[in-house]
Amino acid sequence: MTPAPCPRLFEVEAASDGRLTGLALGNFQRHMTACPACRREAQALAALDEALRAIPTRQLDELQTRREKTRLLAAFDRELVKPRPRWSAPWRLWPAPLAALVAGLFLFWRLRAPQPLPVHAASVVVRAGSAALWSEQSEGPLDQIRLERESLWLHVDHSSQKAGRVVVLLPDGELEDKGTTFTVSAEGGRTTRVAVQDGSVVLRLRGQLPVALGPGETWSPDPPPVASAGASAALAPLPSVTLSPLTHIASRPSSAEPVTSALAPDPALDFRAALATLDAGDNAGAAAAFENFLLKHPRDPRAEDAAYLRIIAFRRSGAEGSMKQAAQEYLRRFPAGFRRAEVQALAP
Amino acid sequence: MIARGVRSQPDACAVPYPSDPEIMNRLASGELGALGELYDRYHEPLRRFIARATSDAEDVDDLVHAAFLAAAKSASQYDGRASCRPWLIGIAVQLLRRRRQGFGRLLAVLSALSGSRSASVDPRPRLEARGEVERALGRISEPKRVTFLMAKVEGLSCEEIALALGVPIGTVWTRLHAARRELRQALEEGAEP
- Higher pLDDT, residue B114 or A105: A105
pLDDT category at A110 given cuts 50, 70, 90 is low
pLDDT value, residue A240: 31
Q: Does A58 reach chain B within 8 Å, measured CB to CB?
A: yes
pLDDT value, residue A244: 35
Contact A13 B177 (CB under 8 A): yes
Instruction: Give contacts of A45 with chain B, Cβ < 8 Å.
Output: 180
Contact A58 B51 (CB under 8 A): yes
Contact A80 B30 (CB under 8 A): yes
Closest CB from B32, B36, B68 relative to A80: B32
For B182, name the nearest residue in chain A, comparing CA atoms only. Answer: A48
**Mind listing the domains of chain B with CATH numbers?**
18-117 (1.10.1740.10), 123-193 (1.10.10.10)
A27 min Cα distance to partner chain B (Å): 21
CB B27 within 8 A of CB B35: yes
pLDDT category at A222 given cuts 50, 70, 90 is low
d(CA B65, CA B75): 15
For B62, name the nearest residue in chain A, comparing CA atoms only. Answer: A68
pLDDT value, residue A146: 84
Which pTM was predicted? 0.45
pLDDT value, residue B86: 87
d(CA A262, CA A251): 8
Q: How many CB pairs under 8 A join A and B?
A: 90
For A80, name the nearest residue in chain B, comparing CA atoms only. Answer: B30
CB B60 within 8 A of CB B50: yes
Give per-residue pLDDT as tens, A243-278.
Answer: 333 323 333 333 333 333 334 457 888 888 888 888
Contact A80 B51 (CB under 8 A): no
CB B179 within 8 A of CB B147: yes
pLDDT value, residue A238: 34
pLDDT value, residue A149: 80
Pick the residue of A45, A57, A67, A71 with the most B CBs within 10 A to test the interface with B by mutation: A57
- Higher pLDDT, residue A264 or A129: A129
Output the average pLDDT for chain A: 74
- Higher pLDDT, residue A328 or A113: A328
pLDDT value, residue B183: 86
Q: What is the DSSP letter of A236?
A: T
A18 min Cα distance to partner chain B (Å): 7
**pLDDT of chain B, 193 residues: tens digit per residue:** 443 444 444 444 455 678 888 888 888 888 888 888 899 999 988 998 888 888 777 778 888 989 999 998 888 888 888 888 888 988 998 888 887 766 555 555 555 555 444 443 443 444 444 577 888 888 888 889 989 999 988 888 888 888 888 889 889 999 999 999 998 888 877 655 4
pLDDT value, residue A112: 59
Please count the CA atoms within 13 angstroms of the CA of A67 that sit on its side-chain side.
12
C-alpha torsion sign, points B84, B90, B95, B99 = positive
Measured in whole angstroms, how far is the alpha carbon of residue A160 from the centre of its chain? 7
Give per-residue pLDDT as tens, A132-183.
Answer: 788 887 777 778 888 888 888 888 876 655 556 788 888 888 888 776 788 8
CB atoms within 10 A of CB B39: 22
CA neighbor of A134 nearest in space, from A152, A107, A157: A152
pLDDT value, residue B134: 81
Contact A17 B176 (CB under 8 A): yes
SS3 A144: strand
pLDDT value, residue B109: 55
Contact B32 A18 (CB under 8 A): no
d(CA A119, CA A127): 9
A105 min Cα distance to partner chain B (Å): 40
Instruction: Give the ipTM of the model, two decimals please.
Output: 0.71
Q: Does A9 reach chain B within 8 Å, measured CB to CB?
A: no
pLDDT value, residue A64: 83
pLDDT value, residue B176: 92
pLDDT category at A233 given cuts 50, 70, 90 is very low
pLDDT value, residue B1: 42
